[in-house]
Structure 1
Amino acid sequence: MTEPLIELRNATKRFPGSGGGIHTAVKDLDFQVAPGEFVAVVGPTGCGKSTTLSLVSGLEPASAGQTTVRGRAVDGIPEGVGYMFQQDAVLPWKSVLDNVAFGPKLRGASKSEARAKASEWVRIVGLAGFESYYPHQLSGGMRKRVSLAQTLVNEPEILLMDEPFSALDVQTRQLMQDELLRVWAGTGAAVIFVTHDLEEAIVLADRVIVMTASPATVCGDFTVGLERPRSVEEVRLTPEFRAIYQEIWQTLRDQVEAARAKGADRVA
């Protein structure tokens, strides 16, 4: 058996709540991610999916339980972690090439080494010819490609993605899903991908983890037995995809309805 690269054991995170109380965002989380595995996390709005990424990245310490990376407790940002947020992190005063080269330069690469590495990743994500463009000259999809190159140029062993394509239109989002699968396939990185979109989770992932309404815990862990490499559009049309979707939706729907009922109770 392969040792897990990432493991959460009874991981719980509490924050100060409004009015002096305590808000429990996630409770007793238990799951593992193997090296090179692509895991998607879905659940109701506000259930704590992003908090889970914060525990793995070391941006937030667990209040109870434990999060480990490579068998060691996370007590800061672990080496080899890349994080792609909902909002891109491109620097508006830097060109595409300089944005992508910024990470390697911070890690000690010379200017020429950083730019050579960045140039290769700009090509890989399909932006060859746009190296000298600035962010305001790019479409939303192109900016996401820059963000993807910014993250992968540092060769992360772990890639954390917090709804990175949620702001894109449907067509561009599908293109970026295919693009992510293409470039990830050659990296060997383990991925935790947070999304509200169950279809997106299934077409991308090896496993889909379903979280409960807040305070979130794991209520379902489903294997996605679709062959790789995958074409996003072709996969969506297969009977296998529809069967997996129906299976997972049975669990996810209950949690969405529970979250809606809690919201209605608070309003009342």
Structure 2
Amino acid sequence: MRVIALRNATKRFPGAGGRAHTAVRDLTFDVAAGEFVAVVGPTGCGKSTTLSLVSGLEPPSAGEVEVDGKPVRGIPDGVGYMFQTDAVLPWRSVVDNVAAGPRYRGLAKADARAKAMVWVERVGLARFAGYYPHQLSGGMRKRVALAQTLVNEPRIMLMDEPFSALDVQTRQLMQDELLRLWQGTGAAVVFVTHDLEEAIALADRVVVMTAGPATVKAIFDVPLARPRDVEEIRMTSEFIATYREIWHSLRAEVARARREAVDAG
């Protein structure tokens, strides 16, 4: 069942000299319930703007964005958003950070903490439930952020390069952790990344966007069975063939974005 639909969605922002800047144009693609879709494209092409349109944080300037068949006119129910930077509160412990969402939704404090503790355990931080963010490593903070997102049982997960600041080893661990926790939830995921390997390792489909103003250039199916071990699948012939196919499409857009940046400079 389709839960997200973009139909010729365009977003313009005020630009220098009163001229509008088009961030994305005529975006058209769907995401089904339980589907993991990764979005890749050149730096600054508008990938994050796409998430803002789906989340309702930004309205489209033209076209339509729908969730559950209804036009997005605000933040839809059941949407979880994981940003590049952690949204953890430094004055709250791990468990209280995770409990914040259920508390905001009206759950009693004891019930919210009990629900949060379940997710703290699921992300492997039970021993650190009483720790504060400054006492945690970068990977542990990302686990907290993941628990914060999943504790609210979202139907849609929007993820904006959530692991980009991590070292390679920690990043792979978090990719496996994300797949383990997402599998079976039925949540639709839209995952923005600059890392094509990450996109292929995680996703069912990869959306390639053009250089800005971005539109959808191509959409590729990822023929890798689930469940996945992200380290192991990178060595398979299917992964390598998929990477070559998608990179052939993406490479031209990366090169064009670089040329335009040089010309503008």
Aligned pairs for 1:83-98 (under 5 A) are 83-98=81-96
Amino acid at match of 2:123: V
Aligned pairs for 1:75-224 (under 5 A) are 75-224=73-222
Whole-Å separation in 2 of the counterparts to 1:151 and 1:169: 22
Q: Is 1:231 aligned with 2:244?
A: no
1:200-240 deviations in whole A, cap 9, x for unaligned?
A: 00000000000000000000100001000000110000000
The count of aligned residue pairs is 265
Match of 2:247 in 1: 249
Aligned pairs for 1:12-91 (under 5 A) are 12-91=10-89
Whole-Å separation in 1 of the counterparts to 2:155 and 2:219: 22
Structure 2 length as normaliser, TM-score?
Answer: 0.99
Amino acid at match of 1:37: E
Amino acid at match of 1:61: P
Whole-Å separation in 2 of the counterparts to 1:43 and 1:101: 35
Q: Is 1:9 aligned with 2:7?
A: yes
Greater mean deviation of Cα atoms: 11-20 or 196-205: 11-20
DSSP-derived class of the 1:5 partner: strand
1:126-159 deviations in whole A, cap 9, x for unaligned?
A: 1111110000000000000000000000000000
1:27-84 deviations in whole A, cap 9, x for unaligned?
A: 0000000001000000000000000000000000000000000000000000000000
DSSP-derived class of the 1:136 partner: helix
RMSD value, Cα? 0.5
Identity of aligned residues (%): 73
DSSP-derived class of the 1:253 partner: helix
Which residue, 237, 253, 260 being the options, matches 1:262?
260
DSSP-derived class of the 2:97 partner: helix
Structure 1 unaligned regions, length at least 5: none
1:163-182 deviations in whole A, cap 9, x for unaligned?
A: 00000011100100000000
Deviation, 1:186, is: 3.1
Whole-Å separation in 1 of the counterparts to 2:231 and 2:12: 40
DSSP-derived class of the 2:126 partner: coil
Whole-Å separation in 2 of the counterparts to 1:75 and 1:15: 18
Deviation, 1:18, is: 1.8
Amino acid at match of 2:17: G
Amino acid at match of 1:263: A
